[in-house]
Chain A
Amino acid sequence: MTWTQWPWLELTIAVPLLFAVATFFVRDQLRAVRLAGLGCAITFLLAVVAWIAHSLADVSGAGPLFRVDELTAPLVPLVAFMHLLTVVMTSADKARRFGTPRFLLSLFLRLALFSTFEQNLLIPLLVLCVVPPYFDLRSRGHRSRLYVIHMGVFVALLLVGWILTSSNLIQLGAACYLVAALVRSGVLPAHVWVPDLFANGSLSSALLSVGPLVGVYMAVRLAVPVAPGWMLAAVTVLSLLTAVCSAGLALVQDSVRRFVAHLFVSFSSLVFIGLEVHTRESCTGALALWFSLMLSATGVGLIVRALEDRYGLLPLKSFHGLYDRGPLLAVGFLVCGLACVGFPGTMGFVASELLIDGTIHENPWIGIAMILVSAMNGIAIMRVYWKLFCGRKPASQAELPITRTERWSVTLLCLIIVAGGLFPQPELNSRMKASSVLFVNPPVPEVATTHL
């Protein structure tokens, strides 16, 4: 048995669960957070090794339950990386409210989710993944009815789809899955829960719940392979409306948290469109944008979180002038924000170009709308940058400099984003292979026999 055949993936999934149990018994919250950081670091390293093992030997996991393919092999370490960044950028002050066991449990659930193909395991994991944000909202004393309603609809559609597909009513089941994916991704009209979660929950919980684009993953695994073309076309229209609407809403937000939420919704809708248009180029572009978004938009969110930890809520009605208080945070915000909108030299550039070019072949109006979305988001990003970091001398005299872990996290993130922008081919090769997964089972054409 070579080292590539060791159960790296299973270890990756098990480690957060073990650390979640361990931190449950730790009373000192700061120590618990540090332990969580160690756990996330080990998880990330294991996930990277699992990815390498997969690439070298095409070993997609040792067991029947958990395995990865070209689509998920890089996503698993990326999810672990997002959690690692979140925990290392948690300030000591925030540690007492961090909810470390819940955080690690969420990591376990998400890793398991991205590591399984089995519908019978995927569905329960999808259901379980929506639970931690609910407890997060409740623990902060905020109303959760909005979240419960939307996730209730999501779970119900998921379960109905599961029953229907198990009963050979494939297309009906696919329709349920697709609608569930739309609800989970915050596509119109089921989008209001996302900004609400960002505004009223903890920013870290919201970022990790929405950031990995679980709805997109679910659609790719469960719905897109079996959905007929007309269904995908209808979803494309909804996704396009969502992308445009969210981009416009991002422009007019007075809350930086809601701005981040709308950014996620807008770009995840673009990813949806690319997958639904279903050409080789658009799928590759969509998957590349997904990868880029997980890094860059999470970076934006984490930097906003770091600023809020220091200075409280930062309404966008006025300038805050925080550049001098944290130049690296400002630079990091700019780099991550520009990567989101596909600025040249960043990871998102080629992804955006590919996505637009792939969709414009199929429908020029979609391509044109995507360009406008990108332009609006670009304006919104810079508006928020200037509001947060410029425009006045900082109001507070408190010098709360960036911590060492924050410095290294932001620097590493920026370097990855720029390196991915200057040398995009390796990532694109990976996403090209991943898009092949989507073409193994192309969407059922309209003339296919129904199973009703």
Chain B
Amino acid sequence: MNDWTSIVGLVAVAAPASVTLLLALLLLLGVRISETLIHRLMQIGTVVGLVSLLALFIGLISTGRVEQLVNLGNWVTIPPGYHFKLAFQFDRLSIPFAALVFVLCGTVGAFASRYMHREGGFQRFFLLFSLFNTGMILTAVAGSVEVMFAGWEFVGLSSVLLIGFFQERAAPVQNGFWVWVVYRTTDTALLFAAILTHQLVGEGDFHHLLGGGAWPNEVATVTSTQAFLVGSLLLVAAAGKSALLPFCGWLPRAMEGPTPSSAVFYGALSVHLGAFLLLRVSPLIAASPVLAVLVVLLGLGTSIFAGAVGRRQTDIKSVLSFASLTQVGLVVAEIGLGAWVPFFWYVALVHLLGHACLRTLQFVRAPSLLLDYRTVENALGDHLPRPAVKNQGFALWLNRLALERGYLDAALKQYFVRPVLNLFRVIHRYEEAWANWLNGTPKEEAPLSGEGLAGPSVASRLRLPHPPEQQPQQLSTKAPV
């Protein structure tokens, strides 16, 4: 019985991965396929994955088991003792989450096949969407830190490339870049945690770190201090991915992407990935009361912040993104509370699943908001009442703070990013001055990094007319941040 459940578990992982590889290969080889075929491939990958997962679930239920570990052995082995384990874990946490991924990706994929119809980059969109699907499944069912890290990175890359999907405008690209900076910075914490795990328990798989037993009955095998260290690093990684404080600023920026990706990424799945990670390592949180308190405070703080800020946003997707964040904050707080009352972990999981479904629906309906408003107002025969907003004194200051999303992004840029960049710019100036001195280049002659020495370009020598300089179009109606 174990064998067939292992096989269907593998199929659940392999199905979306195969579709991703196929679409990537076709793009690489320059083979253009029809929208219908792309959609069909996505459907097949999603349906096969979901059916396999459900079959595995039924298999577990019928045998009274609560967990299935699929160990494919070592992906990499370096004697005497170094190895990367390829392991997947199907349990009460990963199966519902993976099923959610398949259902929402399938649904939104079907929506996107119509929404993105005849859009330039249709194949590129679905490749990235499929990569995201693969990353989410890998993260959901990862049985080792290495597999989780791989899935985590796939999710991050596909997210930022989809934020910058409308790549002919500067704003999506700039926002995608900022999100990448946040992801990359916080993902170092995940990598630190992976390495620390290897150091502490000699293995990367969760069973060695979190003890035997099925979720959520695992008991961490490390001391309270070690749990705090590893858990804190994972908390930072989770905060980056789920846009918890102080990284909330990137979430509304991510709305630059197409609505289907906004829906499934930031309404449903990607934004909950941090919470999922915390649920996966909940025994670590239970092992360290200090960590548990931190998690609760972070969750509540994010929730309060997002609730306040969301009320002052000026476009529907930003409103929804902060509404989403409010709930994610509550989920995280519930996870922290589970350290004292483990039942809260189940509450967090159910909360997460329900919220993801609701928010996806709201996001895919968001482009129709204005139409909905007009329909209601036509039916009423009058404008909908506007809520009164106090705009004096402290209320004005608070409104402004909320409108500017707490100036969090500005603060991160001012106090973390700019000092680092300025330091390296200074070093670069000194380096160039030193190089010019060594080269004997007079100051007025110092070339702009080889300008004019590469020769005229082919385009300029063909003397083709250039269109007038095009300014990046700010099509978004959001308030500038």
A residues at B contact (CB < 8 Å):
91, 93, 97, 140-143, 145-146, 149, 192-193, 195-196, 199-200, 245, 248-249, 251-255, 257-258, 280-281, 284, 308-313, 315, 319, 321, 323-324, 327-328, 331, 338, 343-345, 349-350, 353-354, 356-357, 360-361, 367-368, 371-372, 374-375, 378-379, 382-383, 386, 389-393, 395-398, 400, 407, 411, 414-415, 418, 424-425, 428, 432
Interface of B toward A, CB cutoff 8 Å: 24, 27-30, 75-79, 82, 84, 146, 149-150, 153-154, 157, 160, 164, 167-170, 173-174, 176-177, 180-181, 184-185, 187-188, 191-192, 195, 198-199, 420-421, 423-425, 427-428, 431, 434-435, 438-441, 447-451, 453-460, 462, 464-467, 469-470, 472
- Checking A248, A258, A382, A418 against B423 with a beta-carbon cut-off of 8 angstroms, the contacting residue is A248
CB-nearest residue of chain A to B198: A357
Q: Decide if the interface of chain B is mainly helix, strand, loop or mixed.
A: helix
State in angstroms the CA–CA spacing of A328 and B31 once bound together. Answer: 11
Complex Cα–Cα for A28 and B439 (A): 35
Residue in contact with A252 in the complex, picked from B198, B421, B458, B470, CB distance below 8 Å: B421
Chain B residues positioned under 8 Å from A193 (CB to CB): 435
By the criterion CB–CB under 8 Å, are A375 and B188 in contact? Answer: yes
Asked if A192 and B470 sit within 8 Å, CB to CB, the answer is no
Chain A neighbourhood of B447, CB < 8 A = 199-200
Decide: B195 and A356 in contact? CB cutoff 8 A: yes
Of B29, B30, B454, B472, which is in contact with the most chain A CB atoms at under 10 Å from its CB? B454
Contact (Cβ within 8 A) A143 B439: yes
Q: Which residues of A contact B169 (CB under 8 A)?
A: 391-392
A432: nearest residue on chain B (CB-CB)? B78
- Give the shortest distance, in Å, between A9 (CB) and chain B (any CB): 29
Residues of B with C-beta under 8 A to A308: 454, 457
Pair A392/B458 contact, Cβ less than 8 Å = no
Known A382-B177, A398-B464, A400-B459; judge A425-B76 contact (CB<8 A).
yes
Closest to A407 in B: B30
18 more CB-based (< 8 A) A-B contacts, given A248-B427, A398-B458:
A192-B431, A249-B428, A255-B449, A311-B457, A311-B458, A315-B448, A344-B150, A344-B153, A354-B76, A371-B188, A375-B187, A390-B173, A391-B168, A391-B173, A395-B466, A400-B458, A424-B75, A432-B79
The residues of A that contact B451 with a CB separation of less than 8 Å are 313, 315
Task: For the complex, give the distance between the alpha carbons of A321 and B169 in Å.
Answer: 9
Residue pair A397, B466 in contact (C-beta under 8 Å): yes
Please, how many angstroms separate the alpha-carbon atoms of A91 and B167 in the complex? 27
Q: With A371-B191, A396-B459 in contact, is A353–B84 under 8 Å at CB?
A: yes
Q: Give the Cβ gap from A138 to chain B, nearest Cβ, in Å.
A: 12
Once the chains are docked, how many angstroms separate the CA of A378 from the CA of B154?
14
- Report the Cα distance A245→B462, complex, angstroms: 41
Specify which of B77, B180, B470 is in contact with A379 (CB 8 Å cutoff). B180
The answer to whether A252 and B459 have CB atoms under 8 Å apart is no
Give the complex CA separation of A392 and B473 in angstroms.
9
Closest CB-CB distance, A263 to chain B, in whole Å?
Answer: 14
Closest CB-CB distance, A351 to chain B, in whole Å? Answer: 10
What are 10 A-to-B residue pairs whose CB atoms are below 8 Å?
Answer: A143-B441, A145-B440, A149-B438, A252-B428, A258-B449, A360-B195, A389-B167, A390-B164, A398-B458, A400-B459
